Structure 1
Amino acid sequence: MKNKFAIMVLTLLLTMTVVLAGCSSKQEPKEALKAATANAATMTSYELKSKLVIEELQVTAPDLVDDASVGMVMSMLKNAELTVDGFYQADPMQTELTLGLNLKGDMAMSFNIPIIMTPEKMYVKIPSIPMMPLPETVIGKYLELDLKELAEQEGAEFNLNTLDTEKTQKLSSEISEVLFNEYDEASYFKDIAVKDANLPEGVEAKQVVQFYLTNDNIAEAITILVEKALPSMINIIDTDEYRELLGVKAEDIQVIRDELSALDKAEFNQGLEEMKSMLTINNFNMNTAIDKKDFTTYQDMALDFAVNDPETNQEMKLALKGYSQFLNINEAQTFVIGIPAAADILTMEQLEKEFGGLY
């Protein structure tokens, strides 16, 4: 009787262990990121919300001290925000994006540019842009671009494969896997506690993985990229399927291979040492939130570095922060804009006519 009871207890404990392991399914950081990246190839639809903010941008150089235009540009770009929001579905293929630009400073301005894409057409809404006088008759209209006609005008054959999102996701997944394989987990990846990841409200994650670079590993990271990852990535691209997808020829890829093979190791290492002496990385990391289905639901990035060249007295400081959030993955999408009505569409010929001599 005691033996039977012991066996029942052990069986119950084993069952609970298996169930709990299946529920958490938390992986090592690099493996979790690889799985999420590979799973992206199975995404057939999603809603996207993203933002990139330039928190700091400074360029100092003796020959730019008296250049007022440089100061104006720096002022406009500091705290500038770029947003991309929209929807994607694979079948029937349709993408709807709204690009937003918000410039701060003395020359503050903001505008949005909606873009709709189908397999053969692209529609771009013409915005009202401050300091860029456009004819009132075109503002708010959608410029219709026939992708096949554009390709023919450039002397190229229209290749529908370049818009094959499934193949693009597959290529991205294969390249990412090669990239991850080359980088040591202990030196470049780590887990971040979900409660400490500052995820937005509504973002569910079972695990948050951080990829990071520092002053200590940046030179090694570049060496790995050039000597190991790039050759492997080129081998992936150099197939009939992916050459056709990207619209490149075998001879173009061979040129890149030859340039990598001809790289002078001593000169390359000297360049790395010079870079290390001038570069200061204050922060460089990307956090990826992974849900229970192994999909990436949220990513944020922080980049803060400075470059100081003592020989030329040139200095640059740049700090960026951004995020991308994926919602309603593999669910039916509700497009906000949709395909523009015929009355709201302008062809390129009509646009040229409206612009007249200005075009």
Structure 2
Amino acid sequence: MSKKLLTSCLLVMLSVVLVLSGCSSKKEPKEALSSAAVKALEMNSYVLENQMKILDFSVEGTPEAESPEVGAVLSMLKNAEINIKQVYQKDPMQTEATLEVKLTGDMTTTITIPLVMTPEKLYVKVPSIPFLPMPESVTGKFLVLDMKELAEQSGEEFNPDLFNPEKSQKLGTELMGALFAEYESGAYFTNIDPKEASLPEGFKAKQVVQFAITNENVKEAVTILVNQALPKMLDILAKEEYRSMLQLTPEELEQAKKELQEGNQDELGKALDEMKNNLQINKFTVDTAIDENNYPAYYNVQADVAVNDPDTQTNIKVALQMTSRFTQINEKPAFEIGIPTDTLTMEQLQEEMGQFGY
């Protein structure tokens, strides 16, 4: 083999190694999140499963907290679950979701509410709730809400962009980018080993980024949010496409920004000191798992905090976990509900409920 050919082969091999290493290497945590957020805009269809578990919820220190009524509510909420499974397609826009609420304690029950949304209509299935009797003539039917008619009845102009998931997602991406930009990567964002990230079985993560707030950095984190991130986020909301979508006026946004700028920093500092003294963050992390296609396909939020109010001697403890997982990204969606036909209007619902004694 000639020296020239050998050199060429070595260069080709070196190029392949560099390309492969570049594909497998992890990006800087904040950069990885920003890139993944932009990539998420390419989701034209997906199945999204959200779950929230209340692991602990207690209130102590006040007579009201010791009452049987409050105790029953706390018992019901502790270990409660809220699950939402959503199927979405961008064009033509259609999304359906099933909301499931599982309550424990003395009122153990599961409430399931299917929903369907199109560009102009929202369908909500009237649930059967054990402790809230409903007439049989309405349970199981879908209440259809015409957004355009509701807007006209309230004297407002119907804005279809308000129910446009694509634009909402774009806005969320810009707001998240503005928020992330203000926080230092090493102090708040870190890469973690996927093996330590409690990922769903079978999920292959290219990179997992963790955002964490602790007792040590919570004061700084809130200060950055108020003084740096929120003004920039308000500038984003002031863009015509988002301002009109949310039906905000320039005056409202300008007033909000003015109040932030004129806020008394001494009072803010005092409030933050009190918060730091009375707030105990046992854990607050947000893990974002980026899949092999660079989509932010899994989120895991874990929070365990306690708040003590020295004035009332009230102690509140809350611990919860929230997860979100995207699957079947850009695949043909399989809608299980479709567009409901067994429907009733708000007027029909009110009439039936009135006859039932409501």
The bucket for the TM-score relative to the shorter chain is over 0.9
The one-letter amino acid of 1:305's match is V
1:149-188 residue pairs with structure 2 within 5 A? 149-188=149-188
When residues 247 and 25 of structure 1 are mapped into structure 2, their CA distance, relative to the original with a 3 A threshold, is farther
Q: Displacement, 1:313? A: 1.0
In 2, Cα distance between equivalents of 1:150 and 1:61: 45
4+ runs of 1 displaced by more than 3 Å?
1-6
In 2, Cα distance between equivalents of 1:106 and 1:121: 37
Partner of 1:109: 109
Q: What is the total number of aligned residue pairs between the two structures?
A: 357
- Give the alignment's TM-score, normalised by structure 2: 0.96
Q: Displacement, 1:22? A: 4.1
When residues 148 and 65 of structure 1 are mapped into structure 2, their CA distance, relative to the original with a 3 A threshold, is closer
Bigger CA drift: 223-232 or 62-71? 62-71
The one-letter amino acid of 2:256's match is I
Does the aligned pair in 2 maintain the 1:203–1:297 contact within 8 Å? no
Partner of 1:76: 76
In 2, Cα distance between equivalents of 1:296 and 1:111: 30
Bigger CA drift: 294-303 or 59-68? 59-68
Does the aligned pair in 2 maintain the 1:88–1:96 contact within 8 Å? yes
Q: Secondary structure at the match of 2:283?
A: strand
Q: Secondary structure at the match of 2:315?
A: strand
The one-letter amino acid of 2:352's match is E
The one-letter amino acid of 1:259's match is E
The answer to whether the aligner puts 1:221 opposite 2:224 as a matched pair is no
Partner of 1:320: 320
The one-letter amino acid of 1:60's match is E
The one-letter amino acid of 2:233's match is M
Q: Displacement, 1:21? A: 2.5
Partner of 2:64: 64
For structure 1, the residue ranges without an aligned partner over 5 or more in a row are none
Does the aligned pair in 2 maintain the 1:94–1:118 contact within 8 Å? yes
In 2, Cα distance between equivalents of 1:280 and 1:317: 9
Q: Displacement, 1:202? A: 2.5
In 2, Cα distance between equivalents of 1:107 and 1:281: 30
Partner of 1:275: 275
The answer to whether the aligner puts 1:21 opposite 2:21 as a matched pair is yes
Q: Displacement, 1:179? A: 0.8
Q: Secondary structure at the match of 2:137?
A: coil
Partner of 2:31: 31
The answer to whether the aligner puts 1:198 opposite 2:215 as a matched pair is no
Partner of 1:345: 343
Q: Secondary structure at the match of 1:106?
A: helix
1:90-109 residue pairs with structure 2 within 5 A? 90-109=90-109
Does the aligned pair in 1 maintain the 2:60–2:66 contact within 8 Å? no
Report % sequence identity. Answer: 48
In 1, Cα distance between equivalents of 2:66 and 2:336: 47
For structure 2, the residue ranges without an aligned partner over 5 or more in a row are none
Q: Secondary structure at the match of 2:133?
A: coil
